[in-house]
Amino acid sequence: MKALVKTAKGPGNLMLKDVPIPSISENEVLISVEACGICGTDLKIEQDTFAYIPPVIIGHEFSGIIQDIGPAVENWNIGDRVVAEQHFGSCGYCEFCLTGRRQFCSKKRSPGYYSDGAFAEYIAIPASLLHSIPENVSMQEAALIEPMAIAASAVLGKAGVVPGDTVVILGAGPISLLTLQLVRQAGAGTVLLTGLEADKKVRFGYAEAFGADLCIQADVVDPILAVMDATKGRGADLVVDLSGSPPAIISGLSMLHKNGRFCAVGLPQNPVTLPWAELVLKAQTIFFSYSSDYPAWELCLSLLSRKKILTNGFLDNQFILNDWKQAFQTAHAGEALKVIILPQKTKE
C-alpha cells in the first residue's frame, strides 16, 4: 500500500512509500482510510519540531471502513464506518483506561507519532478505540472528529461553559473554529476570537459565520484593550487558549473578569511566566486540558449528525495521497480551515 512515511529525524525526510498492508492482532481491526486531515503537528513532524519515532507513517485525524477483523473482536463488522481515538497501545485496565481517559495511560503510543498513522491506504486499530460514524455524516466530516473532540473535552468537559458566559478564544485555527461552535451550542453569550494577519482572509469570515461576535487581529490592535472594549470593561468569564503562544496566554489571563476561568489547550514551545499575584487577587481558575476522552468523541459524532456543528469551509481543500506535497503546502500557508487527504485515492 502507499503510505506517507517520516523516514528519519531531521527536517523533511517525508516521502510516499510502498509498504506492506499492516497485519492485525486478535483485538484489532484493519480499516481502509477514507479521509485524514492534516494537523499542525503533522507539519511540525515534517519540520522536526515535534516528538516522534521514525520511521513512522504520519497522520492521526482519520475516518475509514472496516475491511478485516481480528478473531477476538466482537460487535464490529466488515463494512462498518468508523473513527478511532488516538490512544493506541493504551492498556485497557489502568484507572485512566477504565474511566474513558485513555489519553493519560502510560502505555499509550499515539498513531502518527509513535506508531504508524493514517496517511496510508490502511491502518490497524485496536477495536476498543473505535466509534461508529452516523449514516448522515460523511467520511470527510468524520475526519474532523479528533480535533473537535479535543475542543469538546476542553470547553465542555474541563472548563464547563455556562449559558451567558462571555468567552474569548485565543487563536483562529481549526480547533478554535470548532471550539467557537461548541461554546455557541452550550449557550455562551458574547464570543470573541483572536487571530493574526493570515487568519483575516478566510478564517475570520468563517468565525463570524459560526457565531463570533468579533474577530480581533492581535498583531494589529492590543487584544486586551479590544476585549475590554467589546465587553464594556468587564472582561471574559472564560478564555480558551488554542494558540500555544506564551505572549497570547499572558495577555489572555489579563482579559479575564474576576473569578474567571482560563482553559489551556495549546502547547507552548517555551516556558510561560504567570502573573501569580494578579491571578490570586482575582481568584482566577486555570484548567489544563490534554487530548480527548471517550464521552467527547460520542458527543461530537452526535453533534455532527444533528448538524449542530457546521463543516462549511473545513471540506474545501481535499487532495489525493499522491498530491500530498501540494496538500502540505496548502496547510503550511495557514489560511485553509482544514486540508484533507483521501488515502484511498492515489490516482486521479
Q: 256 pairs with which residues across the strands? A: 236
Identified binder of Zn ion from the candidate list 3, 4, 90, 216, rule CB under 5 A: 90
43 binds Zn ion (CB under 5 A): no
| Pick from 108, 123, 131, 109: nearest CA to 35 | 123
Choose between 57 and 230: whose C-beta lies nearer to Zn ion. Answer: 57
Identified binder of Zn ion from the candidate list 4, 36, 39, 170, rule CB under 5 A: 39
14 vs 321: CA distance, rounded Å: 13
Counting Cβ atoms within 10 Å, is residue 344 exposed (0-12), middle (13-18) or buried (19+)? middle
Choose between 37 and 195: whose C-beta lies nearer to Zn ion. Answer: 37
Choose between 181 and 251: whose C-beta lies nearer to Zn ion. Answer: 181
The enclosing H or E element of 249 equals: helix 246-254
Cis check for the bond before 247: say yes or no (omega within 30 of 0): no
Identified binder of Zn ion from the candidate list 97, 156, 177, 253, rule CB under 5 A: 97
234 vs 257: CA distance, rounded Å: 6
Q: Residues 153, 293: contact at Cβ < 8 Å?
A: yes
Residue 96: CB minimum distance to Zn ion, A: 5
The enclosing H or E element of 288 equals: strand 285-288
91 binds Zn ion (CB under 5 A): yes
Residue 265: CB minimum distance to Zn ion, A: 12
Residue 231: CB minimum distance to Zn ion, A: 31
Choose between 97 and 177: whose C-beta lies nearer to Zn ion. Answer: 97
Choose between 253 and 336: whose C-beta lies nearer to Zn ion. Answer: 336
For 97-125, the three-class secondary structure string (H helix, E strand, C coil) is HHCCCHHHCCCCCCECCCECCCCECEEEE
Residue 197: CB minimum distance to Zn ion, A: 23
Give residues 101-120 in contact with Zn ion (rule: CB under 5 A): 105
Residue 259: CB minimum distance to Zn ion, A: 32
Choose between 90 and 311: whose C-beta lies nearer to Zn ion. Answer: 90
Span from 5-13, 28-36, 99-107, 258-266 in contact with Zn ion (CB under 5 A)? 99-107
Choose between 179 and 190: whose C-beta lies nearer to Zn ion. Answer: 179
175 binds Zn ion (CB under 5 A): no
Give residues 192-221 in contact with Zn ion (rule: CB under 5 A): none
Tell me the three cell numbers of residue 163: 449559558
Span from 35-43, 164-172, 185-193, 253-261 in contact with Zn ion (CB under 5 A)? 35-43
Choose between 67 and 128: whose C-beta lies nearer to Zn ion. Answer: 128
Q: What is the DSSP string of 140-175?
A: HHHTTHHHHHHHHIIIIIIS---TT--EEEE--SHH
285 vs 219: CA distance, rounded Å: 27
Query: CA of 344: how far to CAs of 34, 38, 51, 69, in Å?
Result: 6, 16, 27, 19
Output the furthest CA–CA distance in the chain (Å, rounded): 62
Identified binder of Zn ion from the candidate list 16, 94, 228, 310, rule CB under 5 A: 94
Residue 183: CB minimum distance to Zn ion, A: 20
Residue 60: CB minimum distance to Zn ion, A: 6
Total site size for Zn ion, rule CB under 5 A: 6
Q: Residues 181, 307: contact at Cβ < 8 Å?
A: no
Choose between 27 and 217: whose C-beta lies nearer to Zn ion. Answer: 27
| Pick from 245, 229, 219: nearest CA to 166 | 229
Q: Which residues bind Zn ion (CB under 5 A)?
A: 39, 90-91, 94, 97, 105
